[in-house]
Amino acid sequence: MKQKLDGILAAGIERGAAPGATFCVVNRDGVLYEGGAGERAIGSGVEMTPDTVGAIFSMTKAVTGAAAMQLVEQGRIDLDGPASEICPDLGSTTVLDGFDDDGQPITRPPATPVTLRHLLTHTSGFVYDIWNADSTRWHEVTGEPNILSLEKASLAEPLMFDPGTAWEYGIGIDWAGQMVEAVSGVTLGEYFAEHLTGPLGMNDTGFVHSPSMLERAAAVHGRGPDGSLAPIELPPPANPEFEMGGGGLHGTMGDYGRFIRMILNDGEIDGTRVLNADTIASMASNQMGDLRVQPLLTQAPMFSNDAEFFPGEPKSWGLTFQINEAPASTGRPAGTVGWIGQQLLLDRQAQRNRRSLPEPDTPVCRRAIAGPVLRTGERRLPIPLAGSRAGEDQIMPNIWVQ
């Protein structure tokens, strides 16, 4: 396996998929493989080692979901109660019903209140503008910031449909992070450090780099019109007003491997339990009924392709995890969980049959793990999670779990 995976990484770097890559394979018992290839910053000569720190984007969502579910276990959040009882601003949320003759938004109250279950399953009506034409138009008409600004105003956009009536990937888990902060009385990062990342030994994971993390951080790169890569500077938001529970963490593959091992061990790792086994089972099972995941059609081709993980195959959503409802074309069985665009595959059943990794010529294997690669010279930064396929211009952090 080491020879095969080392080869995948090296080949990906050689063909210019990314400046550098790290990769991790874990099971319940420990780390089966860690590797790296390429450079942290192209042309720097600094090797991309397994302890490299990168932005983990939407892999943050599962950590936020775990934090919210801890509070559900404690009876401090009702999974199906109105979320506005904890975050009052959600009580004034409206549904966008189109635009009038002057191009101004038409809104109405939602038919039902938003709940934490809606937020964690992406059935709340909150979306990402990068994949929703009405949301993109709403931002253009109103001039309101999107989520990457880290302004509280970015959370106040309208719903695109009534809660519980459809699925669309979006900023709902950022709102779940706001619920965690409201109930706990501390910032999301402080909550993680005390209740999740700290107890799990994820010492190189946080919303802000420690000095040690900064020394090992991978650069962000831009891909020019000719396909070449170069490091670019992305200044942080001037006045961040919240920590982005949907995509703001930085960390190492090794740290995230510990989080996944906790999931594989039903909420416990190395004698430390952070969630109950029945909670993990709920998180990794369908929590949206007959609704199914739909393809996301890009509204910003410079930042994202159309996005669908396991295209055309039936998928539901658990409490932050996508669920394969049927055996996948890659050979993954029904019940495999992961995220769109973030190549994390968590197969709890594989622990029982020790199935080998797919061959390198399958679509899933062809995409190695990498730090973010962004196009330059465009109007906006990409959303925290962008779909990508063969030939993508954006490559996100990924992790395999066997």
Instruction: Please list the active-site residues.
Output: 58, 61, 169
Could you tell me which of 396, 68, 62, 74 has the C-alpha nearest to residue 261? Answer: 62
- Reduced to 3 states (helix: H, G, I; strand: E, B; else coil), residue 175 is helix
Query: Interhelix angle for 188-195 vs 172-184, to 10°?
Result: 70
Annotate 342-397 with DSSP letters as a single string: S-EEE-STHHHH-PPPPPTTSHHHHS-----EEESS-SSPPPSS----TT-S----
Q: Show the tokens assigned to 64.
A: 């936020």
Cα 201 to its chain centre, rounded Å, is 21
If phi > 0 it is left, if psi is from -120 to 50 it is alpha, else beta; for residue 29 that is alpha
The first and second tokens of residue 323, run together, are 């669920």
**How many other β-carbons are positioned within 10 Å of the β-carbon of residue 148?**
17
Integer Cα distance of 154 and 170 in angstroms: 12
